[in-house]
Chain A
Amino acid sequence: MVETILDVRDLRTSFYTDEGEVKAVDGVSFSVPKGKTIGIVGESGSGKSITSLSILRLLASNGKVVGGEVRFKGDNLLAYSEKKMRSLRGNKISMIFQEPMTSLNPVFTVGQQISETLIEHQGMSKKAAMAKSVDLLKLVGIPSPDKRVKQYPYELSGGMRQRVMIAIALACNPEILIADEPTTALDVTIQAQILGLIRDLQQRMGMSVVLITHDLGVVAETCDYVAVMYAGQVVEYSDVRTLFRKPKHPYTVGLLKSLPRPDEDQEKLIPIHGTVPSPLHMPVGCRFNPRCPAATDLCREKLPDLFDDGEGNQVRCWIYNEQWPGEKEVDVFGEERTARC
């Protein structure tokens, strides 16, 4: 068994707004095995970014983690003091944020921004930190790093800025890198460079990666395990091969059927009808039930737990539980799934 470095159990995060409580994350569980990459996928607003911000406890002031556990090497991070959290962030666990343009400070040079982390966490002198910054820029494949280190973010292309973000994130040899859509704003040829770089550095440094994305192609190619999120919950967690070959949750099946593929011809896409529910008006029972072709009365009444299939894969759907009231052979978006009953 591979050691688990990060274990998120039943995480719940809410925002308190004028319109009411927004349960942005409401039952998220997954684990990150040491040295592996896990992907978090899901549609816009499903709670991917808030999950990662909750792990690092970087929520906006109207947000609060209201339940669950985040265990980093056994310790519950939710019980850490703010001081202890600060020494962990950017050090043992670091993050690349979704908006590369806004997360670099425009008034400081690239070198100053990388140095800052090194000075804070490793007590380096200014001079040593600047020298290490040059090394880091070189590591992430930026040409003429000794010149670039003195430049400002606006002087760099989007791909280079993202490399700088990675350099900052890697400055202290983190054990876990959380990357929130690190390539979404980039062209595919630049994306290939960046993903190749992350994979390469991961292998050299042995770190674990949590990769947040909505691109199933990126997931298939980079991740070992995948957590699929829908409306604030993890609805399926499994190894990447099982997820693409034999997805269990109707949402996952639907997602794969709606995807136009660059590698093969498809007669017709099979869309999931309807839209994602508003976080202020979540459906009762399974959150996917209004859009699910297999939904039964049980699904409309009671929220399913994450059921384990005995092989380490989990699914939040009644079909895979003894209580399933429907047929044994279930048709989900044109594919048969066998109910456990």
Chain B
Amino acid sequence: MEKKELLVVDGLKQYFPIKGGFLGRTVNHVKAVDDISFTIHEGETVSIVGESGCGKSTTGRAILRLEEPTEGKVVFNGEDLTKLPKGEMRKHRKDLQIIFQDPYASINPRQTVSDVLNEAMEIQKVVPKKERRDRIIELLETVGLNAAQADRYPHEFSGGQRQRIGIARALSVNPKLIICDEAVSALDVSIQAQVLNLLDELQDEYNLTYLFISHDLGVVRHISDRVIVMYVGKIVEIGDKHSIFDNPKHPYTKALLSAIPVPDPDRERNHIVLRGDVPSPIDPPSGCRFHTRCPFAQEKCRVDVPELVRHDGMQEGHEAACHFVEEIERGEVKPKELQVTTF
């Protein structure tokens, strides 16, 4: 059965102006997200991974129109959100919720848990007033808290519990899509596992769709159906979880995966060392943005922008944006200086 397309992002660009000079004119742009397209189906979990500053959060925020996208379409349930007037957009907010990394920062410290949830339902008018208290208790139980905790303040909870409050708040308006931006990153492993399992169960129960943003590739492997790899504002590879983790094709994806330390002392450890730092999105490299650090880079890479393409030996839906996927695979294009470290 064809799954329903819930979210279609098409040619999305998010440029932030940099002001400068005497007159405070726009002198340049941070090209935080630069022409990306992808689709999320109902009930699935799609993750965005990539290094700091590659545009993961910006993508999430642009989908919600927390910042107005510079260009491109965000089609949710058949409707282009970028075309909606502000007021209309507010009505759609209930369908698209976001959970942040630091739940404390996004919760008003002077409100009790019950206030927080009540307010969310009030704004979205999803539950009649007199049924709200019951709904609040139900929500708290759903996320593994109890009724007695409804009238407590955020500072009385641990990090993991606060994250549960964040999840309860997102759930309170019956959303279809939840964007989790580093939602479990600040949690300790034992608590993180509790929250990941909870997200899993809620997805099954309410047929939720997740856009999961994280730099932790262990978490991403665990939670995702499909994975998007970003590098300096662009998608370099996209595919189902197994294609990305077991059959990565883009040299950046390979380097990123090989850099992860694996919790197994007997595994062979060969980490590809990338030269230098991630380039700035203000002046991204020409051609393939990875060419300044890619061990396989050729002249063409400096000039032409590679498109996302499915090559031989790649599963349906698995695409990489590299000019030389096949040549690298066949060993015809060799790494110039492939530095490997065991640490």
Contact = CB atoms under 8 A, between A and B. Distances in A.
A220 interface: yes
A273 B260 contact: no
A257 B158 CA distance: 21
A187 interface: yes
Interface in B166-220: 188-194, 196-197, 215-219
A188 interface: yes
A262 B190 contact: no
A188 B217 contact: yes
Interface residues of A, number: 51
A255 B217 contact: no
A222 interface: yes
B277 A159 contact: yes
Contact of A272 (B52, B190, B256, B342): B190
A318 B167 CA distance: 38
A284 interface: no
B163 to A, nearest CB: 12
Interface in B243-290: 245, 255-267, 269, 271-274, 276-278
Contacts of B216: 260
A123 interface: no
A276 B188 contact: yes
B222 interface: yes
B51 interface: yes
Contact of A273 (B194, B341, B343): B194
Contacts of A270: 193
A116 B134 CA distance: 64
Contacts of B218: 217, 259-262
Nearest to A156: B277
Interface stretch (A7-15, A75-83, A171-179, A190-198): A190-198
A297 interface: no
Interface in A250-279: 254-263, 265-266, 268-273, 275-276
Q: Quick one: which of A193, A219, A245, A265 has the most chain B CB within 10 A?
A: A193
Contacts of A216: 189, 263
Interface of B: 51-52, 158-161, 188-194, 196-197, 215-219, 221-223, 245, 255-267, 269, 271-274, 276-278, 341-343
9 contacts: A189-B274, A192-B341, A196-B342, A215-B261, A221-B261, A221-B262, A258-B193, A271-B190, A273-B194
Q: Which 8 pairs between the two chains have the least Cβ-Cβ distance? A: A217-B261, A196-B341, A258-B193, A271-B193, A260-B222, A195-B343, A43-B188, A269-B193
Given A188-B217, A198-B343, A221-B343, 4 more contacts: A189-B256, A193-B273, A221-B261, A260-B193
